[in-house]
Amino acid sequence: MSQQFAGDPHDPRYRSAPPEQREFTTISGEPVRQTYTPADLAAIGFDYARDLNDPGHFPFTRGVHETMYRGKLWTMRMFAGFGSAEETNARFRYLLEHGETGLSIAFDLPTLYGRDTDDPLAAGEFGKCGVAVASLADMEILLEGIPLDEVTTSMTINGPAAAIWAMYIAAAERRGIPRAQLRGTLQNDILKEFTAQNEYIFPPAPSMRLVTDTIEFATREMPLWNSISISGYHIREAGSTATEELAFTLADGIAYVEAALERGLDIDAFAPRLSFFFNCHNDFFEEIAKFRAARRIWARLMRDRFGAKSERSCWMRFHTQTAGCSLTAQEPENNIIRTTIQALAGVLGGTQSLHTNSLDEALALPSDWAVRIALRTQQIIAYESGVTNAVDPLAGSYMVETLTHEMEQRVLAIFAEIEALGGVIPAIEQGYFQRRIADSAYAYEQALSDQRKIVVGVNAFRSDEEPHIPFLNMDPKGEERQLERLRRVRAERDPHAWALALERLERVTAARENVMPALIDAVNAYATLGEITNTMRAVLGEHRALVVV
């Protein structure tokens, strides 16, 4: 657990100070007792059958599968994307050659905002934080040579998620792979954009309608695809505590379930394909408790609140990414150790897939050298550590079970606050989430400034040595090649089919019909992402940020 010291950690006196003169808390600031005993479990009324049960059995605290990693390891899914489609395709091939078992696509900022590469507002942002995808032509190159009927793909995209998903579907079908065989995950979690990441396009209500369209479309036509990955990762990166990350994520999940039910979908038809995405920070036991509490809370919500009958509807399946915000530009080699601790917590917490951050990500996009170390970290945990031999090996620990219970109770208290405000969207409109995250981020930074929390190499144990790590060199002609491809797409597409497809998209959007069939037609007619977004923006409007004070 993180230790808080009142004085300079270089001062030897802190090491000899008696425990009662020091404060011990989790990284989120929750108190940690010196010793946990059977009395702690008795105090919370711990009951094995109700709160724990065997692995693969309700409430799934110990995992959603009876055998967990003895049956199948987690998917090693490294988040990747930079520059042009050609460069990112090469990185995908590199990762698959070195043992990655699932793809995860990072898109650049213009793409995340639904803009084409040549949009004036996109100037200077090509390929900086992900790959640029402006049309089906880019998507086809991005996926060239990738066995889409064998590899699962995750796409971190939200505001224009439906359009990007349509491009992926169209690219696969042009290669003869039916959409019903595609497996993967669309992040598509717009609610957390309004509270944490701010990469939104349309206002909350029409944005929710588009998410529900994708859930409905996947339920009917793509049974192997997760149409949404409800994400706490970005909430944590924005500065929330572990408890807030979990509570806000599950509250968003409740809102999506309610929207799908209002659409008329059956809970057991769509709930098994809902997935989640969590951050894993440095506090080892707090993070493990968070994951275990997440499964238990979600299972009870689905069965007791929403009446799910299928066991799979009660499963919380989640992806984990190690904490980007924990990485330091100072002494970046220390990030390997941080990532290893976080990855191990994710595994012991029962994650279904995992991304490990690269040591150089606080400085630049990951190099091949750095990303290989990050992937090897997962492989060493999987094949050398022995932690995969037993399911939930920490079950029954006085400390872990107490922390899991305490996490659950704090989350339920936050649920009550959100419901008192009228639900997630009213709470967003009132600035509730934004204010809480800002307050938690400020408190953490104050703790760092006061050295009540220690980050090695940053506010304690500092070194003046300059880092010596190889950086990624992006293709200087990548943007030129991308712009030329975009010009060629516009010049060579069938103008009549293009115009009809966009007219249909506008009509369907205005009529509140499911937009996915029209989007697939539009991308097949080589309408660009910016043209599609502008067509929908004219109908749905554009969101303006709430100023929270």
Say what the pLDDT of residue 465 is.
85
CA dihedral 507, 508, 509, 510 (to 10 degrees): 50
Evaluate whether the domain defined by 38-449 bears CATH number 3.40.50.12160: no
Q: What angle do CA 147, 150, 153 make, to 5 degrees?
A: 80
Q: Taking Cα atoms as reference points, which of 362, 357, 326, 156 lies closest to residue 237?
A: 326
Contacts of 545 (CB under 8 A, 6+ apart): 198
- How does strand 23-24 pair with strand 3-4? antiparallel
| pLDDT grade for 93, boundaries at 50, 70 and 90 | very high
More confident residue, 445 or 12: 445
Residue 64 pLDDT level (bands cut at 50, 70, 90):
very high
- pLDDT tens figures, 98-127: 999 999 999 999 999 999 999 999 999 999
Per-residue pLDDT tens over the stretch 378-428 = 999 999 999 999 999 999 999 999 999 999 999 999 999 999 999 999 999
Arithmetic mean of pLDDT, 495-522: 98
What is the tens place of the pLDDT at every residue in 69-79? 999 999 999 99
Burial category of 249 from C-beta neighbours within 10 Å (exposed 0-12, middle 13-18, buried 19 and up): buried
Q: Does 488 score more than 70 pLDDT?
A: yes
Q: What percent of the chain has pLDDT over 70?
A: 95
pLDDT on residue 548: 60
The predicted-structure confidence for 254-313, as pLDDT tens digits, reads as follows: 999 999 999 999 999 999 999 999 999 999 999 999 999 999 999 999 999 999 999 999
Domain locations in the chain as residue ranges: 38-449
Token pair for 485? 């491809």
Per cent of the chain over pLDDT 90 is: 90
Q: What does the block give as tokens for 440?
A: 């938690």
CA distances for 172 relative to 71, 176, 405, angstroms: 29, 7, 45
Least confident of 81-90, 233-242, 537-546: 537-546
Banded pLDDT at 504 (limits 50, 70, 90): very high
Cβ atoms of 349 and 381 within 8 Å: the answer is no
DSSP letters of 503-519? HHHHHHHHTT--SHHHH
pLDDT band of residue 24 (cuts 50, 70, 90) is: confident
pLDDT digits (tens, 9 = 90+) for 30-61: 999 999 999 999 999 999 999 999 999 999 99
pLDDT at 13: 41
- 167 membership: H or E segment, kind and range: helix 161-174
* Mean of pLDDT values over 179-198: 96
Stretch 6-12: mean pLDDT, rounded? 46
Q: What is the DSSP code string of 176-214? A: T--GGG--EEE----HHIIIII----S-HHHHHHHHHHH
Query: Which ranges of 301-367 would DSSP assign to H, the alpha helix?
Result: 334-348
Q: What is the mean pLDDT of the chain?
A: 94
Q: Which residues pair with 23 in a beta bridge?
A: 4
Asked whether the predicted pLDDT for residue 545 surpasses 90, the reply is: no
